[in-house]
Amino acid sequence: MLAPALALLLGIVILVISAEKFVEGAAAMAKRLGLPPLLIGMLIIGFGSSMPEMVISALSAYGGNPGLALGNAFGSNISNIALILGLTAVMTPIMVASSVIRRELPFLSVLTLLLAGLLYMDGNLSRLDGILLMALFTTIMGWSIYAGLKTESDALAEEIEQQLATPLSLARAATYTIIGLIFLVISSRILVWGGVEIATSLGVSDLIIGLTIVAIGTSLPELAASIAAVRKGEHDLALGNVIGSNMFNTTIVIGITGMMAPTTLEPAILTRDVPVMIILTAALFVMAYNYRGNENGVITRLEGGLLLFAYAAYNISLVYSVTSS
């Protein structure tokens, strides 16, 4: 039990560091190669922040542990909204000025509902479901990038431009990207092994481990990025990190799992985890939009506190499900 616990802890630490370096290197390379800031934010940073979830889910599915892969994806989405945005908003209310962010939120909501529809249809995550999810993401992201690049001025693009004002040299950026990716894979393998061993030792499903420890671990890069962004006043970048990550998780991460390891879902996913994810996504949609009559939308400290309360209640329900079984 000690060795798996140490492996899990070590895997999370290396994962967070390697993910940060991968994103930093990839974004700097894109900047050096002349990609527009908005494209860097939507594609490079969004993709990079979800790399831990993608690698872990792929390794878990390949190793015959789809429960861990799905728990990681659903748990990360729940953690991103309830824990990360909740904690960030409690620290500093999050202003939403970007038109791109307001355009992405409806897409995230629709993707969440489409995923739920596919899963509730037959209680399975099939290979066809995986292909459809990945195709949906490609279509929506392509349109979003096209529409975003046609926008002459946007708060998100300005914040990304400011963040990349002094990018790394091309050689150092390439080194960060390659080494970061290598250690992402290594740390993910360590983390998956530790998570599976702990689940086996405790007699709980790997889904629970994925929803809790692994989900929090893979969400740490988004947490660090969001807190750093709001401290610099880059509120749209903080929210964009979460929205982009959740879109990747909902489509690519779960899509990879479906393609590699089609599986029948545990009932708890449909009765507990998917409804919580839908409710939190709807709450984010309402909070981020301008329904108060202000110039911009805002996620207040009170709303952040409510998100944290929801996250605590959800995890209590997970603990109860384990102890009562």
Residue 166 has pLDDT above 60, yes or no: yes
pTM: 0.84
pLDDT value at position 75? 92
Q: Which fold has domain 2-323?
A: A middle domain of Talin 1 (1.20.1420)
Residue 294 has pLDDT above 60, yes or no: no
pLDDT in tens, 203-221: 778 888 888 888 888 787 7
CB atoms within 10 A of CB 14: 17
Exposed, middle or buried by CB within 10 Å (0-12, 13-18, 19+), for 280?
A: buried
How does residue 127 score in pLDDT terms, banded at 50, 70 and 90?
very high
CA distance linking residue 208 with residue 321, whole number of Å: 9
Element (DSSP H or E) covering residue 295: none
Domain ranges within the chain, ordered by starting residue: 2-323
Least confident of 112-121, 142-151, 194-203, 306-315: 142-151
Question: How far apart, in Å, are the Cα atoms of 278 and each of 78, 260, 290?
Answer: 9, 25, 20
pLDDT value at position 150? 67
CA distance linking residue 243 with residue 225, whole number of Å: 13
Percent of the chain with pLDDT over 70: 83
pLDDT value at position 296? 63
What does the chain come to in residues? 325
Residue 133 has pLDDT above 80, yes or no: yes
